[in-house]
Amino acid sequence: MHIMLKGILSKLGLSDDNTSQLEAQKESIAMSGLKVYNSLTKKKEKFTPLQKGLVGMYVCGPTVYSDVHLGNIRTFISFDVIYRYLKYSGYKVRYVRNITDVGHLVGDLDTGEDKIAERAKLENLEPMEVVQKYANGFHEMMSIFNVSPPSIEPRATGHIIEQIEMVQKILDNKLAYVKNGSVYFDTIKFNKKYKSYGQLSGRVIEELFSETRELKNQNEKKNPADFAIWMKADERHLMKWNSPWSVGFPGWHLECSAMSTKYLGEKFDIHGGGNDLKFPHHENEVAQNMGACGCTPAQYWLHSNMLLMNGKKMSKSDGNTITAEQLFSGESEHVSKGYSPMVIRFFLMQAHYRSTIDLSDEALSAAEKGYRKVIEANRFLQSIKAVTETTINEIDTKVNQTIASVYDELDDDFNTPKALARIFELVPVINSFKDGKEEFKNLSQSTIANLQKCFSEVLFDIFGLQDEYESGSNNLSASLDGVMQLVLELRQQARANKDWATSDKIRDTLAKENIVIKDGKDGSSWSLN
């Protein structure tokens, strides 16, 4: 048993002589057995960056022509947790997340209007006014959800030169052709050379011909599955630039290939985005990079899954949709009340990033209770003062094993729901200590310190949660505590006067608001349920 405990404490950076080695823990986990599911190979693989200790990660950012929707918010929160865990694990991470401000056409076809240009006409604005308006809104929403800013946030319009240069490289490699001022990627030639088009998305190129023949129906293309990497603009098009082939604009897929190459190199570690981007966007990115330099851009492709609502895909047409603002305010038929950003973030942690998650009023209400429970446990935990060290016992061993398993779950493809389940296994331990139960009174000082460190790191540093009662600008925690102390005094006075009806009414009313009153020999205390 002692040998097992020593191994657990060693992994956690603690020694059984109560010497905390925080940096040793990070070093232990940093070069550990992190495994990630690679969409390119369709299997879970050990994560080994190209350069030891350094990680380059590119995630497709928003197209800023409208307010960011909840599905995208889920994706950015998922990759925020991945970014945070990589940094926590000791890696130096260069995180690039772009802004798409040109080239993303309505319907994702190679014809039609740019989404931003279309919105500019509707709102009678300059395209860059549209970009600035919705980019500001996106950044504000990311801040509300405590999403870390990336290391670099490039915009497509700021990298037209790099995109033109990449088109030329693909042409030089004879994997693209010019037709009437537009440049198309030649998927047939590419597949004859590399035999890999469709590997990421699982599409078969022969099937793509029949799928796209009627859909795109462009006589300029040699093959229906070919896609534009530079498009000639007509005189009505608002966003266009000079190029060797025409006055036009880059294809949507091209921007990410050019910007990831510029900031992370021809080969880098992680490329991420939503599942809906696998085809055509990410598939075409791989083809473009290989067409330009002969190599796939990222070692590992990570994709987050859909956010459903009430068991169905969100859809404006059938009314099955809700905005983040409506979730906050509760002004929607789909929710009974408003939910805070941290409750929503906590809710999203309850599903693996590769799994769908179903948003509903019932699920959010349950998440709110869970969030309050774990935050309340942590608040008490962090208030425990150092005690005299005791001998490591069986309960210490079990607690430290559970703590170690939290990080093991995160090492398994960033498995937040399983890590969170392990955290909740520790909550009764904290509550038992709080209630003074005999078996938990003798928890060792090192185990308590380990618990404090685990909760602080996982909940706040890795999951990116905040204690909303502590972090509010109006000092909500202090205000609530002051009000509750007054309520407890009034209830205690009622009990002293044997006014049991008033005493019970106060307790029952608070219970309806998820506030639990506990009566003990030393008086009464309160906690959020």
Tokens representing 2? Answer: 């002692």
Mean pLDDT of 268-273: 98
Check residue 17 and give its pLDDT.
43
Mean pLDDT of 192-217: 73
Check residue 491 and give its pLDDT.
86
Q: The dihedral of CA 211, 213, 215, 218: what is its sign?
A: positive
| Sheet with 298-304, edge to edge strand ranges | 92-97, 54-59, 268-274, 298-304
Q: Residue 111: which pLDDT band, with cuts at 50, 70 and 90?
A: confident
Taking the alpha carbons at both ends of the chain, their separation in whole angstroms is 36
Residue 370 near residue 346 (C-beta atoms within 8 A): yes
Of the ranges 3-17, 113-127, 134-148, 235-249, which one carries the lowest mean pLDDT score? 3-17
Mean pLDDT of 198-213: 73
CA 358 to chain centre: 16
Q: Is the pLDDT of residue 286 over 90?
A: yes
pLDDT digits (tens, 9 = 90+) for 63-77: 999 999 999 999 999
pLDDT digits (tens, 9 = 90+) for 485-521: 777 878 888 888 888 888 888 888 887 776 878 776 5
Q: Cβ neighbours of residue 320 under 8 Å, at least 6 residues apart?
A: 309, 310, 312, 313, 314, 334
Mean pLDDT of 224-236: 92
Check residue 218 and give its pLDDT.
63
pLDDT digits (tens, 9 = 90+) for 43-68: 999 999 999 999 999 999 999 999 99
Tokens representing 3? Answer: 């040998």
Q: Is 74 exposed, middle or buried (0-12, 13-18, 19+ CB in 10 A)?
A: buried
Domain boundaries, the chain: 2-31+309-470, 51-304, 474-528
Q: Is the pLDDT of residue 269 over 90?
A: yes
Give 212-237 as a DSSP string. Answer: HHHHH--TT-SSTT-EEEEEE--TT-
To the question of domain 2-31+309-470 being in CATH 1.10.150, the answer is: no
Q: How many CA atoms lie within 13 A of 170 on its CB side?
A: 32
Q: Is the pLDDT of residue 317 over 90?
A: no
Q: Is 515 exposed, middle or buried (0-12, 13-18, 19+ CB in 10 A)?
A: middle
Q: Ramachandran region of residue 499, left (φ > 0), alpha (ψ -120 to 50) or beta?
A: beta
Of the ranges 122-131, 440-449, 456-465, which one carries the lowest mean pLDDT score? 440-449
Q: Is the pLDDT of residue 123 over 50?
A: yes
- Quickly tell me which residue has 């796939």 as its tokens: 296
Mean pLDDT of 146-167: 98
Check residue 512 and give its pLDDT.
74
Residue 229 near residue 181 (C-beta atoms within 8 A): no
Q: Which residue has the higher pLDDT, 394 or 336?
A: 336
pLDDT digits (tens, 9 = 90+) for 364-381: 999 999 999 999 999 999
Length of the chain as a residue count: 529
Backbone phi, psi, residue 33, to 5° = -95, 45
CA-CA distances (angstroms) from residue 319 to 6, 221, 309? 57, 39, 11
Q: Residue 220: which pLDDT band, with cuts at 50, 70 and 90?
A: confident
Q: Is 260 exposed, middle or buried (0-12, 13-18, 19+ CB in 10 A)?
A: buried
Which three-class secondary structure state does DSSP give residue 101?
A: coil
CATH number, span 51-304? 3.40.50.620
Q: Cβ neighbours of residue 75 under 8 Å, at least 6 residues apart?
A: 59, 273, 274, 304
Check residue 396 and give its pLDDT.
87
C-alpha–C-alpha distance, residues 324 and 330, integer Å: 10
Check residue 528 and give its pLDDT.
63
